[in-house]
């Protein structure tokens, strides 16, 4: 197993060699991601493994994990969220090749300069973030000073809805009783 490569690497060479590479990237270097975080300390850990499938297609197995701190959208307090992503990336040289990649692979466009691991990591972590980050337990929000507003209104009794065929049912019952 090798240490972290330079940020850019040739995905086809890595896949063909079957090498395993692991390393870490500081969260602070992932600008698009840090814009969404409450705190930017810590590292993202990753592992890459080059592979070739039964059809001869070269791909990369990627495991990414990080603990990020978001702002809870209910109480605006800190929310520690462990993220873990596992993805199989198929490097492609063009958009046309990307359209031909089987569904169980995620195509990644690699130019002559290769792929930037930090960009792959950032893209996958952005996709792993929840749409709305909130504490699962309301008590965690209450610990941050959040309280549900008290409306003071009495519970509304269920309103009886008119039954559209009630009159017909009454007529049928009346006609049966008369027979």
How confident is the model at residue 127, as a pLDDT?
95
DSSP 146: -
Which residues are 26's β-sheet partners?
43
How confident is the model at residue 176, as a pLDDT?
83
Do 110 and 89 form a contact (C-beta atoms < 8 A)?
Answer: no
Do 124 and 47 form a contact (C-beta atoms < 8 A)?
Answer: no
Which segments in the chain show pLDDT lower than 50? Answer: 1-5
| Phi, psi torsion values for 3, nearest 5 degrees | -80, 180
Distance CA 94, CA 55 (A): 20
């Amino acid at each position: 197993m090798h240490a972290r490569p330079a940020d850019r690497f040739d995905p086809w060479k890595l896949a063909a060699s079957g090498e395993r590479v692991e390393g870490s990237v500081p969260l602070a270097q992932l600008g698009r991601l840090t814009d969404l975080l409450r705190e930017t300390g810590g590292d993202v850990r990753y592992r890459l493994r080059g592979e070739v499938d039964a059809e001869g297609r070269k791909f990369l197995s990627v495991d990414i994990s990080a603990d990020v701190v978001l702002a809870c959208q209910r109480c605006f307090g800190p929310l520690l969220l462990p993220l873990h992503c596992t993805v199989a990336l198929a490097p492609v040289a063009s958009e046309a090749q990307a359209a031909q990649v089987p569904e169980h692979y995620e195509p990644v466009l690699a130019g002559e300069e290769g792929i930037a691991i930090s960009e792959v990591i950032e893209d996958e972590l952005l996709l792993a973030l929840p749409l709305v980050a909130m504490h699962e337990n309301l008590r965690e929000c209450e610990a941050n000073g959040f309280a549900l507003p008290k409306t003071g209104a009495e519970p509304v009794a269920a309103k009886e809805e008119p039954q559209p065929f009630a009159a017909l049912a009454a007529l049928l019952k009346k006609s049966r009783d008369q027979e």
